Amino acid sequence: MSERTSLKRGQLGTTALVFMIIAASAPLTVLAGGAPTNFAVSGLLGLPLSYLVLGVILILFSVGYAAMSSRIHNAGAFYAYISQGLGPRQGIAAALLALVSYNMLQAGLYGLFGFSLSAAIFTWTAVQLPWWLVGAIGWLLVALLGVSNVDFSAKILGVLVTLEFLVVLIVMGYALFNAPEGLSTVTLRPNDFMAPGVGVLLAFSIAAFMGFESGAIYSEETKDPKRTVARATYIAVAVIAVFYGISTWALAMGIGPSSIIGEAQQYGPDLVFVWLSQYSPLLADVAHLLFVTSIFAALLAFHNAAARYFFALGRSRVLPGSLGRLGRNGAPVAGSLAQSVVGAGTVVVFALAGINSELGELFPVITLFTWFSTAAAFGLVFLMALTSIAVLAWFRKDHHGFGVFTRIIAPSVAAVAMIIVAILILINFDIMIGEDSPRMMVFIMPGIILGTGVLGALWSLRFDRHTDIHTIADDDSLPVRESDPARITTP
C-alpha cells in the first residue's frame, strides 16, 4: 500500500494509545462534572457501581472488537468492522452516523470548554470574557495540533492525562481522610443501584466512557496493530471503570453519603471545587484549571478521531477523495481541516443564537454541550450495538482461530447490553438534556442521529454492493480480502 493513502505507521505504542483513549474519556471532567450531575439527576447512590457494571459490559464488547481489530486495521473503525461483518452498504450508513456522532461530540465540548475557561478566568482575574471567545482560542489550538504528527498530540495528551490522574488522586486522598460519616460500602450496595432511576444512572454513566472505542481508529498508526489496539483497549477500559468507580466512591465518602445527592443538586458541576476549597483554596484553583485542560484533552482526542473518519471515508470515496489527502508528516490534514471547519461553524452558530438568551452564561452548557453530547452518546452506543452484531456475523464466516467466547458469547452479551443502554438513553433523553431545554429537542437531537443513518443507507445505494473498503491486513501489504484494496466506485 502506498504511503500516499496510508497513515504514517509505527508512531503509537501501547502506552501512548492508552493515553489517547483515556484522554477522550476525560477522568477529571467525569469526576468534577459528570458525577455530581449523575448523583443529582438520578437521585441514586449507586453511581460507583454503575461504572463497574458498564466496565464489565465494555470489556465484553472489547473482546470481539479487539479480536477483529487484530485482523482489520482502518482509521474508520466502526465503518470497517460493520462493512466487513454486515456488508459495505451497512458500513457506509454506519460510517456517516459515526462521523456525525464524533463531530457532534467534539463540537459540543466547545460549549463546556468555553464556559469553564471563561468562569475560571473570571474567578482568578474578575475579567469576564464571552464563552465563544475563549472557545475560539481552544479551537485554534486544537486545529493546529490536529494537523501535526499524531505522536506530538499523544505526548500533549499524555501530560494532561497524567496531571488529571494526579489531581483526582489528591482529591480522593482529601475525601478519604476527611470523611464526615466514615468509610462505608453504601454506594456499592446493589439495592442503591437496581432501583427506580437506574435507567438515568446508566444513560449518564455510559457517556463517561465515550471515546474508549477510539483505539481502533489509530490502528494504522500503531507500532504493532495486531496487539497494540487490543492491549490498549483492555487496559484503558479497565483503568477507566475502576478509576471512576473508586473516585466517585471516595467523593461520596468525602461529602457524606447522606449529603452527596443534596449537595450535588445544589452545586452541580461546582460541587468538587466548592468542597475542595474548604480544605485548600489553592488546590481548588489547580483542580479547576486542570478541569479545563481535561476538557481540552477530550477536545483534541475527539478531533483526531473525527479527522480520521473523514480521512477513511475520503480514501474510500464515500466522501470526496480530497478528504483522503495526507500531509507530509503522515497526518490526515484534509480530514483535520474539515473537522475544524465543522467546529468553527458550530461555535459561530451558537454564539449568535446565545445573544440575549434567557439562559445567560449557562447557554453554551445547556444547549451546545448538553444537546450535542447526549445525542452523540446515543449514536455511539447504537453503533457499538451494531458493531457487536457485525462481529458475530464476521466470525460466522470464518473463526479466524478464535474460541466460542470471543466469537459468540462476549459479542452477543455486548450487543444486548448496548441495545438496552441505547433504549434507556432514548427513554430518558428529556431528563438528560434538562428541563431548561425546549421540548422539541427530545425529538430533534435523536432524530439527527437516526436520520443520518437513514441518509447513509440511501447514499450507499449509489455504490456497488460487492465493493470492498480500503483496509490494511496483518502483513501490512495485503487487504483483508484477497482482492486489491478497493475504492468504492459507482456501478
Of the pLDDT bands very low, low, confident and very high (cuts 50, 70, 90), residue 148 is confident
Mean pLDDT calculated for residue range 225-237 = 79
What average pLDDT does range 225-238 have in this prediction? Answer: 79
Is the per-residue pLDDT at 483 higher than 50?
A: no
Confidence class for position 5, pLDDT limits 50, 70, 90:
low
Asked if the model's pLDDT at residue 372 lies above 70, the reply is yes
pLDDT value at 86 more than 70: yes
Q: What is the pLDDT of residues 17-37, one digit of tens each?
A: 777 777 777 788 888 888 888
> What is the mean pLDDT of the segment spanning 186-196?
84
pLDDT value of position 475: 33
Judge whether residue 479 has pLDDT over 50. Answer: no
**Residue 73: phi, psi to the nearest 5?**
-120, 115
Confidence of residue 146 (pLDDT cuts 50, 70, 90): confident
pLDDT class of 481 with cuts at 50, 70, 90: very low
Taking only the tens place, the pLDDT of each residue in 457-475 is 888 777 655 544 444 333 3
Q: What is the CATH number of domain 3-462?
A: 1.20.1740.10
pLDDT attached to residue 77: 67
For the chain, the domains span 3-462
What is the per-residue pLDDT for 491? Answer: 29
Q: Give the pLDDT confidence score for residue 307 in this predicted structure.
A: 87
Q: With bands split at pLDDT 50, 70 and 90, how would you rate the model's confidence at 60?
A: very high
Could you read off the pLDDT of 286-336 as tens digits, one per residue? 888 888 888 888 898 889 888 888 887 888 787 888 887 877 766 788 888
Out of 171-175, 310-314, 432-436, 442-446, pick the least confident. 432-436
pLDDT over 90 at 373, yes or no: no
Say yes or no to pLDDT of 477 above 50.
no
Whether the predicted pLDDT of 116 surpasses 70:
yes
What's the predicted TM-score (pTM) here?
0.83
Per-residue pLDDT band for 248 (boundaries 50, 70, 90) equals very high
Q: Average pLDDT of 177-202?
A: 85
